[in-house]
A and B are shown apart, each in its own frame.
Chain A
Amino acid sequence: MAEQHERLSLEHILHEFEDCADLTRRNFPEIGADIVYFSHTVDNLLLINQVLDPLSALQRKKELEQLLRESQFVRVTDSKTAVTGILEGGVAVFAADTVHLIDVYGPEARSVSESETESIIAGPHDAFVESATTNISLIRRRIRSSHLKVIHCSVGEISKTDVYILYIKDIANLAYVQDLQQRIERIETDAINDGGMLSQYLEDKQTSVFPQFLTTERPDVSSSKLVSGKILVLIDNSPTSISAPASFFEFFSSSDDYYERWVLGTALRLVRYVALIITLTFTALYVAVTTFHYEMIPEALLLTLAESRNRVPFPPVYEALLMEFTIELLREAGARLPTKVGQTIGIVGGIVIGQAAVQAGLTSNILIISVASSAIASFVIPNYLMSASLRVIRFGIIILAGIWGNMGLVIAIAVIVIHLCSLSSLGASYLVPVAPMRGRDWKDVFIRAPFSLLLTRPTQNRTPNPIRQKNRK
């Protein structure tokens, strides 16, 4: 007992935080109290109102006892709690032989602003920020229900980052919630810095190229996932939320499909699936046709294609890989540079690729068209992670097509499909609603049917409450 008491002394805490220059210690000699806190994790206004002003106003020790009895002060007895409390933005008050903690957490945070990676035209523009509490508030604002439950966990042996699991009682399947919670608790690592990183720890198959959970930084998307029966994971210090379980086809829908007329939404979805096909196969098909299957070219195109290939010194595979690689370079450079410089990169790239390479006879202009259209098609896919994965896969397909022509292309498709079939998201098939077949869900996956037809929640969520709209009008 005595040993423990000694541990919780002021000296001990100061010893624990030795060499932490950002630790602030203040002394109130009149009442014999000391306070310790990290000045950058506390809200200054709260600190003044809740701690500094009341303490300075006190004259006697008796009054201090009175004050500490108020509910915002929590008595702590062991040093571990005290240390954690201070780290989490609390102020530790050392008076006489007691220690109290008061939570005045309020670090500097970016204010809610527009999403840069997932911008849409119509619909709400706000995006999650790096504070989980703000993010939860953005969700709560959208779902005003006591059924919206939040489970708190923390990950990271060193970082102790807050993670919140959000779900709606009676809509979400509790088996999924438990599974997810167990997976989060099982994580053993030093620190997790982003939702994208967290989702990889949680996935069923971490070695896969495909993201198995949907990540988004849009609160409207997140809350629509919640009400459809999915589970949302938010992690502090990251604007990325994870929703699970996810299916492959979910990555091809965007929230504005629902904000626009259904015809337009449907058309856009179909465009995205066409983009999927183009981005995966277009350049590969060019390579296959020009390397092996010349007979597939119609007469009207034959001369154009042959002439454009005429001066190119490399076989089509190398030509295509070279151009694809250049586009990836440009894209990566554009992403790293500030917007103004990024524009220059675009111009330089356009001229270098579009003109000089063709004139120098390094590539054929038909290839430029095909490489450019597959790059554009990859940007059409709304989810950044998915589109990046597809771009990587494309290289594999091109190489296969360069070796075995159309058969290589088909083998590549087979490998991708077999791999996709073996994936699961929280144990549910990744390819719902195609395999296993759920015809009912097709009208909200491949098309966006009018709302009067979208009566049920997706079956993949295994929700106990599948009916969304009871009576059709």
Chain B
Amino acid sequence: MVNKIAGMLMLVLLLTGCSTDQRILDKLGMVQTIALDQADGDKLLVTASIPVIDPNAELKREILQAETNSVKEARLVFSRQTDLRMVSGQMRELLFGIDLAEKGLWKYVETQLRDPSVGFSVKLTVVDGKAGELLAAEHKPHADTGRYITHLLEKEAAGNNIPATTLYEFSRDYNDDGIDVIAPIVADGGSKVRVTGIALFAGDRVVMRVPVKEGLIFALCRGNLKRGEAAINLGDTIGKPEVVVFSSVTSKRKVKVHRMQDGRFKVDLYVSLQGSVLDYTGERTLREEKDRHELEKELSLSIEDKAEQLIRQMQQKKTDALGFGQYVRGRLSYKAWKAMDWRETFPEVEVDCRAKVKIKDYGKYM
């Protein structure tokens, strides 16, 4: 009897269920990409790209723009411009113009983190130039620039050359006192969008850029690679550039921290790398074991050289994007670590990079 009453109650409840919270798929304006730029005054230029769902439509996406004080406020403006309900649950990509990125991004990232409908896997990318213009530009044959950038970066990240940065990684590294944030940089390259490098942050401001050709070196120093492709230039020793092209690169990174007698820290960075050689333009013959060993050694030296150069630049800009701080922290007591300002200490750290290259194979042809 009581159960029957309960059942009836449930039924009544169901009938009163209201529909204000419905988000029917085809009635939504699902923002996929948002681009943020500095506008006049302290305002923000928000550009949003929304896919057009009608398969017969000529344009595959709709661009909305507004100048507002906050990103979420822009959503209110947008919803007055379209017949669709604006939602941000399908957001994939956040583009930041470089002028904004150099001033600091955290408050914009924080807004996104607060929004429960935005997931942790939204990608953050810095645009060299105006983000809104890049997003609004058309890049044939890609109908939707936002998706094009997303896929481009996904592919790059899969190749381990340019790491993609998600909301999760950004907030994780930003809130970690032993590592700094990085993000990929893209730029409008005329008919194409080009990935131009990696932005290194100090706090939430971009302070340095790693050009794309050094992306692999940077990636080797930052973490373990599972799959990568790389062209390593050994210099013009024989009158023409001697280039080794690697594929299926796997690498391991190891960091060891020592305290030197003068109180400074010394970081030993070990990088070991394996890969198959796809192409080699130098004089040596790959089939000779001796030659191969020499080549391996030369490659190691070249990597060490470039890595140390890169790290020196980072030290000048005071950005510890490789996370040495995390390891230094491991050698200290809590008090000592908190008492130290790592950002100021980092430039004084002596870094020694040791690379070890192994050529796994060199293809199926002598």
Whether A310 contacts B90 by the Cβ 8 Å rule is no
A18 on the B face (CB < 8 A) = no
Complex Cα distance A294/B119, Å? 12
Whether B14 contacts A294 by the Cβ 8 Å rule is no
Q: Would A299 and B30 be within 8 Å (CB), given that A293-B23, A310-B53, A399-B14 are in contact?
A: no
Residues of B close to A302: CB separation below 8 A: 30, 51, 90
Whether A299 contacts B92 by the Cβ 8 Å rule is yes
B24 on the A face (CB < 8 A) = yes
Whether B17 contacts A306 by the Cβ 8 Å rule is no
Least CB separation from B4: chain A residue: A207
A290 on the B face (CB < 8 A) = yes
Most chain B beta carbons < 10 A, residue from A291, A295, A305? A295
- A-B pairs with CB below 8 Å: how many? 61
Whether A306 contacts B26 by the Cβ 8 Å rule is yes
Contact code string B92-113 (vs A, CB < 8 Å = 1, else 0): 1000000000000000000000
Whether A292 contacts B23 by the Cβ 8 Å rule is yes
Contact code string B48-77 (vs A, CB < 8 Å = 1, else 0): 000101110000000000000000000000
Residues of B close to A294: CB separation below 8 A: 23, 25, 28, 30, 87, 89-90
Whether B17 contacts A403 by the Cβ 8 Å rule is yes
B117 on the A face (CB < 8 A) = yes
| B contact face: mostly helix, strand, loop, or mixed | loop
Q: In residues 300-333 of chain A, which contact B (Cβ within 8 Å)?
A: 302-303, 305-307, 309-310, 312, 315-316
Q: Would A316 and B24 be within 8 Å (CB), given that A297-B90, A403-B17, A404-B17 are in contact?
A: yes
Most chain B beta carbons < 10 A, residue from A289, A292, A403? A403
Complex Cα distance A270/B255, Å? 48
Partner of B24, one of A297, A315, A399: A315
The smallest beta-carbon distance between A289 and chain B, in angstroms, is 8
Residues of B close to A291: CB separation below 8 A: 22-25
Q: In residues 263-303 of chain A, which contact B (Cβ within 8 Å)?
A: 289-295, 297, 299, 302-303
Q: In residues 187-229 of chain A, which contact B (Cβ within 8 Å)?
A: none
Residues of A close to B32: CB separation below 8 A: 299
The smallest beta-carbon distance between B121 and chain A, in angstroms, is 10
Residues of A close to B53: CB separation below 8 A: 303, 306-307, 310
Whether A310 contacts B24 by the Cβ 8 Å rule is no
The smallest beta-carbon distance between B2 and chain A, in angstroms, is 12
Complex Cα distance A315/B21, Å? 13
A400 on the B face (CB < 8 A) = yes
Complex Cα distance A126/B26, Å? 53
Whether A307 contacts B23 by the Cβ 8 Å rule is no
Q: In residues 385-420 of chain A, which contact B (Cβ within 8 Å)?
A: 399-400, 403-404
Q: In residues 6-38 of chain B, which contact A (Cβ within 8 Å)?
A: 14, 17, 21-26, 28, 30, 32
Whether B23 contacts A310 by the Cβ 8 Å rule is no
Residues of A close to B25: CB separation below 8 A: 289-291, 294, 297, 305-306, 309, 316
The smallest beta-carbon distance between A406 and chain B, in angstroms, is 12
Residues of B close to A306: CB separation below 8 A: 25-26, 30, 51, 53
Partner of A303, one of B14, B21, B51: B51
Contact code string B145-158 (vs A, CB < 8 Å = 1, else 0): 00100100000000
Residues of B close to A303: CB separation below 8 A: 51, 53
Contact code string A155-181 (vs B, CB < 8 Å = 1, else 0): 000000000000000000000000000
Complex Cα distance A315/B92, Å? 26
Complex Cα distance A83/B87, Å? 80
Whether A295 contacts B54 by the Cβ 8 Å rule is no
Residues of B close to A290: CB separation below 8 A: 24-25
Residues of B close to A292: CB separation below 8 A: 21-23
Complex Cα distance A305/B150, Å? 20
Least CB separation from B119: chain A residue: A295
Complex Cα distance A403/B10, Å? 12
Contact code string A364-404 (vs B, CB < 8 Å = 1, else 0): 00000000000000000000000000000000000110011
Whether B26 contacts A403 by the Cβ 8 Å rule is no
Residues of B close to A400: CB separation below 8 A: 14
Least CB separation from B14: chain A residue: A403
Residues of A close to B150: CB separation below 8 A: 299
Least CB separation from A296: chain B residue: B89
Complex Cα distance A299/B151, Å? 11
Complex Cα distance A403/B22, Å? 9
The smallest beta-carbon distance between B118 and chain A, in angstroms, is 9
Complex Cα distance A248/B26, Å? 40
Q: Would A312 and B26 be within 8 Å (CB), given that A295-B117, A295-B119, A307-B55 are in contact?
A: yes
Residues of A close to B30: CB separation below 8 A: 294, 302, 306
Complex Cα distance A316/B25, Å? 9
Residues of A close to B22: CB separation below 8 A: 291-292, 315
The smallest beta-carbon distance between B293 and chain A, in angstroms, is 45
The smallest beta-carbon distance between B355 and chain A, in angstroms, is 37
Complex Cα distance A299/B147, Å? 9
Give chain B's interface residues, CB within 8 Å of chain A: 14, 17, 21-26, 28, 30, 32, 51, 53-55, 87, 89-90, 92, 117, 119, 147, 150
Q: A291-B23, A299-B150, A310-B53 are in contact. List 6 more A-B contacts (CB 8 A).
A: A295-B87, A295-B90, A299-B92, A306-B51, A316-B24, A399-B14
Give chain A's interface residues, CB within 8 Å of chain B: 289-295, 297, 299, 302-303, 305-307, 309-310, 312, 315-316, 399-400, 403-404
The 4 closest A-B pairs by CB, nearest first: A295-B89, A403-B17, A306-B53, A309-B26
Could you write out 29 A-B pairs with CB less than 8 Å apart? Answer: A291-B22, A291-B23, A291-B24, A291-B25, A292-B21, A292-B23, A293-B23, A294-B23, A294-B89, A294-B90, A295-B90, A295-B117, A297-B90, A299-B32, A299-B92, A302-B51, A302-B90, A305-B25, A306-B25, A306-B26, A306-B51, A307-B53, A307-B55, A310-B55, A315-B22, A315-B24, A399-B14, A400-B14, A403-B17
